[in-house]
Amino acid sequence: MKKLLTTFIFLTGLISFSQTEEKKTNSNLILTPELMVGISAEANENFPERNPQLQTILNLGWDNKNNNQEWAKQLKKPRTGLSLGYTNFGNNDSLGSAITVMPFIEFNAFKKENLKLLVGTGGSYFTKKLNPETNPNNKAITTDIVWSFRLFMYYNFLKTKTIDWRIGAGYFHHSNGHTRLPNQGLNSFLVSLSADIKRNKSLREPIETNNNDTKTAYNYFGIRTGFGINVLGKPNPFNEQKGVYTLTLNYGKVYNKTYKIGGGFYYRYYQHYYDYIKNNESLVQDGREFNHLRDTPFWNASAFGVFVNGEILLNHVGIDLQLAFNIHKPAYKIDWRINQGWEFVPREIPEDSNIVLGEFDTKYKLKQYISARMGLKYYLIGTNKVPKHNIYLGMHINSNLGQADFTEASLGYVYSFNKQK
């Protein structure tokens, strides 16, 4: 997890730098201090009692009203930036506090200038987590570092020459991306008061841009390799982090240097699945339900499938979403049996025991075949230049129909057939 954290911090720094680079030529820095108050929903039975949650955030935003790059025009001049936050969850002993670093993008909502929608994803460091002996009731957070997601709506209720006052309401989510179990996650609902401190008068006087509506499109081919981590189940050694190795080929088209749409093929190898099969654990032993997986352990620890994906290109930064169909993922049956029955299933599962394991119901079938992926990319060369060759770093969370599967850092290459139409 620490290696992936280092990658994420590096990626976040690059995102911040790329925004700063834009600011020098055609964007304006806005500082937005923000105070939030709200509640955290109970993540599990006997969840610790808590006072209201308090959160302070400093948003470093770049207003793109004067940004002439194609993505800024296509997305109607959104605000982009980085949030740095501190949260107290109302119970220092059991829930502690968190420090959050989160890139964000903010749009006008419903075409209203005074109504904004903000979406952000990043990471948080928690000072308290689950400890079976000293902190057994906090099953929401089980790792020091977690993924964080933010969705907020804001209303500008008072504007002055240098400050716009805003009220807001929204949702904050924290979870570890299946890097430790349990992974209940922490869901918070908050209201906020914030102030846009505008340092540049030109924010109120956007520069006239060329509104040429010429449409462009070009095809691309990409290859990506990645390293992820996840766990298999709650009892050790299944709750130890092991690798997930990925390879992806994709092809598609980029419209107006902003909207990237494509599809392709992926392959994944799960170390946990291989070790479970190779070590002859309970469910693959002779006479047991999955003993046939021992015939070809490497093959059965693999998964492959096809996908479609969409990406919003913000020059150096990409916001990436993917929906996939698993053609082959046989060892997921073991995963489901262990994790979807009783809350705690021991490593050794006697054949004649009354332990309840996960059932292969409709919910299982959906998660077995449908997967998703979301995250951020940083491109070495700005995509607004349409380079023929480009390289990117990525940080993503992969899921089985909304349930976290593994957290992944990746390195990718893109070749653009940049004859624009």
Task: State how far the Cα of 321 lies from the Cα of 122, in Å rounded to an integer.
Answer: 15
Q: Give how many domains the chain has, as a whole number.
A: 2
Residue 260: inside a domain: yes
Res 352: pLDDT:
83
Cβ density class 384-417: b for 16+ within 10 Å, e for less: bebbeebebbbbbbbbbeeebbbbbbbebebebe
Q: Does 297 share its domain with 177?
A: no
* 208 lies in some domain: no
Residue 41 structural domain: 2-201
What per-residue confidence (pLDDT) applies to 344?
86
| pLDDT the model gives residue 25 | 47
Classify 85 as helix, strand or coil: strand
In a domain, 207, yes or no: no
Same domain for 148 and 294?
Answer: no
Which pLDDT score, from 0 to 100, does residue 68 have? Answer: 86
384 inside domain: yes
pLDDT at residue 23 in the model: 47
Give, in degrees to the nearest 5, the angle at Cα 401 between 399 and 403.
50
Q: How many CB atoms lie under 10 A from the CB of residue 29?
A: 17
The answer to whether residue 410 is domain-embedded is yes
CA dist., res. 231 & res. 224, Å (int): 23
Do 36 and 166 belong together in one domain?
A: yes
**Cα Rg of the chain, angstroms:** 23
125, 183: one domain: yes
Collapsed DSSP state (helix, strand, coil) of residue 167: strand
Do residues 134 and 266 both lie within one domain?
Answer: no
| Domain match, 192 and 223 both | no
Kindly state whether residues 256 and 152 are assigned to the same domain: no
| Cα distances (angstroms) measured from residue 247 to each of 224, 254, 305, 398 | 6, 22, 11, 14
Looking at 201, 226, 252, the residue that finishes a domain is 201
Asked if residue 30 is part of any domain, the answer here is yes
The residue among 152, 174, 201 that closes a domain is 201
Residues 38 and 186 in one domain: yes
Looking at residue 205, its pLDDT comes to 52
Predicted local confidence at residue 213, as pLDDT: 61
- Whether 287 is covered by a domain: the verdict is yes
List per-block mean pLDDT (blocks of 10 residues) for the chain, which spans 421 residues. 52 52 60 96 94 97 88 92 96 96 93 92 95 94 95 95 94 94 93 88 51 80 97 90 97 96 98 97 96 97 98 95 97 95 90 90 95 95 95 96 93 87 49
* CATH number for position 243: 2.40.160.20
Question: Which pair of tokens denotes residue 144?
Answer: 């020091």
Count H helices and E strands in the chain, helices first: 6, 16
Tokens coding 57: 């955030």
Same domain for 34 and 73, yes or no, is yes
DSSP summary character for residue 131: B
Q: Are residues 252 and 347 in the same domain?
A: yes
- Domain stops at, among 155, 172, 201: 201
Residue at 368: amino acid letter: Q
Is residue 181 domain-shared with residue 267, that is, in the same domain? no
Residue 209 forms part of a structural domain: no
- Same-domain check for residues 32 and 103: yes
User: Could you count the other beta carbons within 10 Å of the beta carbon of residue 345?
Assistant: 22
Q: Strand runs (DSSP E) across 4-44, as ranges?
A: 28-40
